[in-house]
Amino acid sequence: MSDFPTFVEFHEEGPREGFQLETVLHPIESRIRFIDALSRTGLRQIQVGSLVNPKKVPTMADTPELFARIEKVASVKYTLLWLNKQGFLKALDVPDVTLEGWLYFYASDALARANNDRSAEQMRQEQLDFVKLYEHHQVPVTTASIMCAFGCNLEGEVSTQRVTDLLSWIREITVGRGHSLPTLMLADTMGWASPERLKQLIGAIRDIEPDIRIGTHIHDTRGLGLANVYAALQMGVDLFDSSVAGLGGCPFASHKAKNTAGNICTEDAVFLCEELGIETGIDLDALIEAAKIVEEILGEQRPGKIMHSGSLSRFRSKK
């Protein structure tokens, strides 16, 4: 039996997750145009870039300048990604940034070592330091993300028990310190999720924490992206990370083609919600235009469907 939400929120990650994988630094004016177009779509949150080591991710080196030059819309939260204390402290100095405390956990030890040069256990312990850092700067702890929650190309299957054990740790370092239980984002980092597996994991989590808000970060690596979104909607999930034009992907996933390994296409997922009668607050036609802009910037055809076929609104208006 389905339990569709009445409203779904999309957090747009294309400007960060997509462009961090590029081998060239595209002109800042083009990326400003892209983000400004996203700001006019009705999206509630846009992740502009990341504050990471520019030697390791040179395409994010100009993030502070990019953030300063985009045209801010009052109804939109503009966020940045940081993975260590230095990045967070840099974010404190960025005017108009939305500061929310994120915690990152790995269900795959192999990915933790590849991505951070530390074990999953070390990364888990470091999150308590982040909670203390957020407390010191009066930044609310809002979200905990579990990477490779379904499986990992580097390590194999991930059990439900491993995910629920992490949830217990998340409760310990948040609720145990007087915080509210944060939103839990289940990240299908390397495209292992299937609809039934996704529903099973969400059900197991809700058996433990029935009132927790669950979101998903789904990659369309193996073509099940929208099927997984549909399954999540059936379970009442009302929050999705997504990337316009299907940007993004995990750099350690050994994909043969980068433009087929990205996040779910925001515009395709919004179209699905509209067809199900679920509100998103997003202007789909404006989102399609933003997708076309990024395709123009990258000089390649992106895998999104709706950006090329268009929505059904112009056909329905003929009646």
Per-residue pLDDT of 87-139, as tens digits, reads 999 999 999 999 999 999 999 999 999 888 899 999 999 999 999 999 999 99
Which residue carries 């099927």 as its tokens? 227
Task: Enter the tokens of residue 269.
Answer: 């997922």
Q: Maximum CA pair distance of the chain?
A: 60
Q: What is the pLDDT of residues 279-317, one digit of tens each?
A: 999 999 999 999 999 999 999 999 899 999 998 888 887
Is the pLDDT confidence value at 8 over 50?
yes
Q: Note the pLDDT tens digit of each residue in 208-221.
A: 999 999 999 999 99
C-alpha–C-alpha distance, residues 292 and 22, integer Å: 17
Please state the rounded mean pLDDT for residues 186-193: 95
What pLDDT is attached to residue 315? 85
CATH number, domain 101-242, options 3.40.50.300, 3.20.20.70, 3.40.1800.10, 2.60.40.10: 3.20.20.70
Say how far apart CA 236 and CA 228 lie, in whole Å: 13
What's the pLDDT tens digit per position in 235-257?
999 999 999 999 987 766 655 45
Better-scored residue on pLDDT, 315 or 161: 161
Q: Say whether 101-242 and 1-99+278-319 share the same fold.
A: yes
Instruction: Give the tens place of pLDDT for each residue, 47-100.
Output: 999 999 888 889 999 999 999 999 999 999 999 999 899 999 999 999 999 999
Cα–Cα dist 12/218, whole Å? 12
Domain topology for 1-99+278-319: TIM Barrel (3.20.20)
CB 146 within 8 A of CB 105: yes
Residue 250 annotated to the active site: yes
Question: Looking at residues 199-211, what average pLDDT do you find?
Answer: 97
User: How would residue 258 be classed by pLDDT, with cut points 50, 70 and 90?
Assistant: low
Give the per-residue pLDDT at 260: 53
Instruction: Please tell me the predicted confidence (pLDDT) of residue 252.
Output: 62
pLDDT for 4 beyond 90? yes
Region for 73 from its dihedrals, namely left if φ exceeds 0, alpha if ψ lies in -120 to 50, beta otherwise: beta
* Percentage with pLDDT > 90 across the chain: 85
Q: With bands split at pLDDT 50, 70 and 90, how would you rate the model's confidence at 1?
A: very low
Instruction: Work out the mean pLDDT of the chain and round it to a whole number.
Output: 93
Query: Percent of the chain beyond pLDDT 70?
Result: 95
Residue ranges of domains in the chain: 1-99+278-319, 101-242
DSSP secondary structure letter of residue 279:
B
Say what the pLDDT of residue 225 is: 96
Number of C-alpha atoms within 13 angstroms, CB side, residue 192? 23
Whether 263 shows a pLDDT value over 50: the answer reads yes
Among 148, 152, 250, 265, which one carries the catalytic annotation? 250
Q: Please, are residues 288 and 38 in contact by the beta-carbon 8 Å criterion?
A: no
